[in-house]
Structure 1
Amino acid sequence: MGLFGVAAVADLAALGMPSSTISRRVQAGHARRVLRGVVKDGPDEPTGDQRAAAALLYAGPSSVISGGEALRRYGLTDPSPDARILVVVEEQRQRTSSAFVDIERTERLPRAVTIDGLDLAPLDRAVIDTVRREDRIDVVRGVLSEAVQKERTTVSRLMAELAAGSQRGTALPRRVLRDELGVGVRSVAESWALELHADSGLPPALWNPRLYDPTGTYIAQADAFFPDVGLAWEIDSRRHHFLLPDWDKTLRRRARMQSYGLVVAHTRPSRLRADRAAVIEELWGSYRLAASRPCPDLRVVAAPDTNSA
C-alpha cells in the first residue's frame, strides 16, 4: 500500500496485483474500499490522513486538497461540520464529487504545497476556497480574521487571491476583507463591535492601532481607539473567564494604558449583540469622560495592511 496504507486499485494492478486478489482481500476483511477505485489496509474506518490520501488518489494526478481540510493541516480552524474534503483538479479532468470528496475543476490549478506527504493548495487559496463556500458571515469572518491575526497571511494577499480566482461566492468575503479586516478588525467579536460603533453615532475609531508615548515607548495595541479624546475600547474575549494568565495579562494591559492617561472601556463580546443599547450608552459615557480630560500625547500607528495604511 502507499501513503498511510492507502492505494489506488489501478496502481496495485500496475504492480501486478490482479483485481480479483484485491476483491478477495476486501471480502476477507484484510482491506477496505475507501472511495471508488481506492482501497486501504485493514477493515477499520479510515483515519483522517487516510481519507485525505484517498481523496487525492481518487481525484488523480496534480490534484490538491483545499478548503477546510487544508486549513486544518496549516494549523488553522476547519469550519466544516461535515468533514468533507475539497479537492481542486485541472479543468480538463473528468471527475465528479463522491462520498466525502468535493471535486472542483479550475483553470487556475495551484502549485502544491506538500505537508506530511499530502499535496495542499497554498494557504491563501485554501482560505479563499473555504470562504467562497460559506453563506454564514461569522464563519467567513472567523476564517479570514484567524489567518490574518495569526500572521499567516495579509489582507492584501487575500484580496489578490479573491480577485484572481472564480468570482462565485466572493461577495461576502470581499465585503469582510474590505470593510472589516481592511480597516483593522481582527476577530469576529471586533466585527460585531464595528457594527455597533456604526450605529452609535460616536466619532470615528481606529481598529487595532499600536499606541506609543512621545519617546517611542510602546504602550499597547487597543482593540479600538478614539484618537480625538484618548479612549481605548477593549473587547474582552470569553476565554479570559477561564484562563487566568490571559486575564492577568489583560489587567496589566489595562493598567498600563491608564497609567498614560487613557480612559479604557471594556465590553464582553456577548453584550455586543444581546445588549446593544446599553453598550452604546456605556461607550458614550466613557467617551464623555475621556473628553473631559486632557487628551494624552501619543503616537498612534494604524494596524498593518489596513485601507488607511
Structure 2
Amino acid sequence: MNHDTPVSPRPLSHLTDAQRRVLSAAQLRAHGVTAAKTAAQCRPGGPWQQILPGVFVLHPGPPTSEERLHAALLYAGRPAVAPLVPAQARTEGEVTSYGDVMVTGLAALALYRFSSAPPLLSLDRIDVLVPRTRRLRSTGCARLVRAHAMPATHQVGGVPVAPVARALADAVAQLSDADAVRRLLTEAVRGSHCEPAAVVRELTLARLLSRPHVVDAVDSLLAEGRAIAEDRLYAMVREHGLPDPLWNVDLRLPGGPHLGGVDIYWPEQAVAVELDTRAPRQDEDAMGSPLLERSRELGEWSEYARKREHLERLGITVVHITPKKLRESLEQQATVVRTALMASADREPSAYVVVLPR
C-alpha cells in the first residue's frame, strides 16, 4: 500500500476559499492526493504550482495576496493535516490550523487595517513569527521571525496574528525610513490599538532603541500617547460630573521643597490624580538586557512610590491612573476618583501646600 495514500480522504467543505486553493503536501495526502500526482500537476503548463517548499497553489495563475498569506503560514507552521475547525469557529488564542505560528510585521499591521501600512498585495514577503527552535529558513514569500517566547495569538479574519505591539516591533526592525516608522507608531496610539508603554517594551526587547530614527519616533509616540490620555482625563471629569479641579500643577511646601507635579488636583479635598505613563528605555550599550530593563522599570516605580508616600504623609490622596485604564474603563476610574473625593470629609485636614502651574 502506498504510504502517501490516506485510509479515508478528508473533504474540503470545511476550508475557506483561500485554504481550498493553497494546501501543503501533508494536507494533499490527507485528501487522497499522492506525491506523484502532486508532482505531475505542478509540471510546466500544469494546473497547479509550488509556491513554497511543500506548499502548493491549486491553480496556474499568479497567487493572490490571501493565498500568499496562507502559503507562508502553512510553510512556517508545518501542520500535519488540513484544519478540522472552520476559521470563524475558532476562539481567541486557540492553537490554529497552522500550528504555533502567526503573521507579524507589516503583513499583520495590514490585517489590523493600519492605513500607514502597505497593502498585503504590495509586500514582497510575509513575516511569520515562529518559535526559535523551528528548523526552517526564510524563502520565497515567507520571512521567518524567531521568538524566544511566543505571544498570545490574535485572530483577524480567521488568520493567526501577533499582538499589535509585537507586530510593530517586527515591522520597525525592517524599516529605515524615519517617517514610515513614526506614522506606524502614531497610528497605533491614535487608533487605540495599544498603549505606548507596550510598544516601547517590545522595541526595547528587540534592541531597536539604539537606532536614532526609532528613538525619535518613540519620543513622538510617548508625547502622542500622553496627549491622548490627558484628553481622556478631561473627558472623565466632564462627562462623569466630577468637581472642577486644577490641571497640571506643581505642589510645594511653603518655603520648602518641591513635592512633585500632578495632572489633576482638588485642593479642598486634597486629592491628586497622576497619569502613570512609565515605559522602559535602554541606552545604546544596554543591548536589551532584561535585568537592566527591569531595574530601570523598578527605579521609575520607586520614584512614583516615593512621591506618593510623601504626599500621603502630608494628607494628600494620590490616585494613579494608567492610559490603558482610561481607555478601557473610564467610568470605573471616575468612580475611584469620586470615592477618594467623598472620603476626604472623613480624613484629618491635609498640610498646607503651595499650588503652582506646571
With normalisation by structure 1, the TM-score equals 0.57
SS in 1 for 2:134: coil
Is 1:74 aligned to 2:112, yes or no?
A: yes
Change (3 A) 1:149 1:173: farther
Tell me if the contact between 1:155 and 1:177 (Cα under 8 Å) persists in the aligned partners.
no
1:58 positional shift: 0.7
Aligned length in residues: 204
Counterpart-to-counterpart distance in 2, 1:170 and 1:56: 31
SS in 2 for 1:72: helix
CA-to-partner distance for each residue in 1:133-152, whole Å, 9 max, x for gaps?
21111111011001111111
Is 1:44 aligned to 2:61, yes or no?
A: yes
Name 1:88's counterpart in structure 2.
129
Tell me if the contact between 2:124 and 2:141 (Cα under 8 Å) persists in the aligned partners.
yes
Counterpart-to-counterpart distance in 2, 1:208 and 1:116: 30
SS in 2 for 1:87: strand
1:154-303 correspondence to structure 2 within 5 Å: 154-163=195-204, 165-168=205-208, 171-172=211-212, 175-176=215-216, 178-184=218-224, 210=231
Name 2:264's counterpart in structure 1.
none
Name 1:10's counterpart in structure 2.
26
Q: Match for 2:41 among 12, 17, 25?
A: 25
CA-to-partner distance for each residue in 1:177-217, whole Å, 9 max, x for gaps?
5422212379xxxxxxxxxxxxxxxxxxx8996598xx969
Structure 2: runs of 5+ lacking an equivalent = 1-11, 78-98, 240-247, 249-322, 325-357
Is 1:122 aligned to 2:163, yes or no?
A: yes
Structure 1: runs of 5+ lacking an equivalent = 187-205, 218-226, 228-303
Tell me if the contact between 1:55 and 1:87 (Cα under 8 Å) persists in the aligned partners.
yes
- Write the letter of the residue equivalent to 2:133: Q
Q: Match for 1:141 among 169, 182, 192?
A: 182
Counterpart-to-counterpart distance in 2, 1:67 and 1:56: 14
SS in 1 for 2:130: strand
1:4 positional shift: 4.7
CA-to-partner distance for each residue in 1:95-119, whole Å, 9 max, x for gaps?
1111121112221222221222221
1:15 positional shift: 4.2
Q: Match for 2:151 among 110, 118, 129?
A: 110
Counterpart-to-counterpart distance in 2, 1:170 and 1:111: 27
Give the superposed CA RMSD.
3.5
SS in 2 for 1:179: helix
Name 1:203's counterpart in structure 2.
none
Change (3 A) 1:178 1:40: closer
Name 2:3's counterpart in structure 1.
none
Counterpart-to-counterpart distance in 2, 1:178 and 1:91: 27
Identical pairs, percent: 28
Bigger Rg over Cα: 2
Name 1:192's counterpart in structure 2.
none
Change (3 A) 1:208 1:13: closer
SS in 1 for 2:42: helix
Tell me if the contact between 2:189 and 2:225 (Cα under 8 Å) persists in the aligned partners.
no
SS in 2 for 1:16: coil
Change (3 A) 1:207 1:86: closer
1:173 positional shift: 6.5
Name 1:268's counterpart in structure 2.
none
Counterpart-to-counterpart distance in 2, 1:16 and 1:180: 56
Tell me if the contact between 2:107 and 2:123 (Cα under 8 Å) persists in the aligned partners.
no
CA-to-partner distance for each residue in 1:258-285, whole Å, 9 max, x for gaps?
xxxxxxxxxxxxxxxxxxxxxxxxxxxx
Change (3 A) 1:207 1:48: closer
1:36 positional shift: 1.4
1:174 positional shift: 5.1
CA-to-partner distance for each residue in 1:31-54, whole Å, 9 max, x for gaps?
221111111221111111110000
Tell me if the contact between 1:135 and 1:172 (Cα under 8 Å) persists in the aligned partners.
no
Counterpart-to-counterpart distance in 2, 1:178 and 1:97: 29
Once the two structures are overlaid, the 10-residue window that deviates more, 122-131 or 137-146, is 122-131
Change (3 A) 1:47 1:111: same
1:90 positional shift: 0.6
Counterpart-to-counterpart distance in 2, 1:137 and 1:177: 7
Tell me if the contact between 2:178 and 2:217 (Cα under 8 Å) persists in the aligned partners.
no
Tell me if the contact between 1:37 and 1:58 (Cα under 8 Å) persists in the aligned partners.
yes
SS in 2 for 1:180: helix
